[in-house]
Amino acid sequence: MKSILKYAAGLMLSLIFVAGCTQWPTEKQSISDLRPGISFKAQNTALLDGRVVLDGLDMGQAKDYQDGVAMMRVLPGPHMLNVTFNGQKLLDEKIFTSDGVNQTFLLQ
């Protein structure tokens, strides 16, 4: 009787161990960022040192949002976008951004 109980206990422990080693199916969930994006490109790369001002807030240099490298994520809707370089306005536009739409501006 004791040997049957030992055998049953050993079998149960084996089953628990084996069941613990199997991988259960998992589900991966991710969220896409559909916010609009703004980036910049320039024929003269020095112009990418220009300061970007969005809705009156200094957002850094245009090279921080260079096309193909990085993008400034913004909220959908109307915005005022300005880029200045050495006191000269390179860009001064009212823009409208929409979900999932990325815009690239050429600095000249």
b/e burial code for range 20-50 (CB count within 10 A of at least 16 → b): eeeeeeeeeeeeeeebbbbbbbbeeeebbeb
CA angle 57, 61, 67 (to 5 degrees): 110
What is the domain class of 37-107 according to CATH? mainly beta
Report the distance separating Cα 67 and Cα 27, nearest Å.
34
Domain limits, the chain: 37-107
40 in Cβ contact with 83 (< 8 Å): yes
Sequential pLDDT tens for the chain (108 residues): 666 766 666 666 665 655 555 666 777 777 778 899 999 999 899 999 999 999 999 999 999 999 999 999 999 999 999 999 999 999 999 999 999 899 999 999
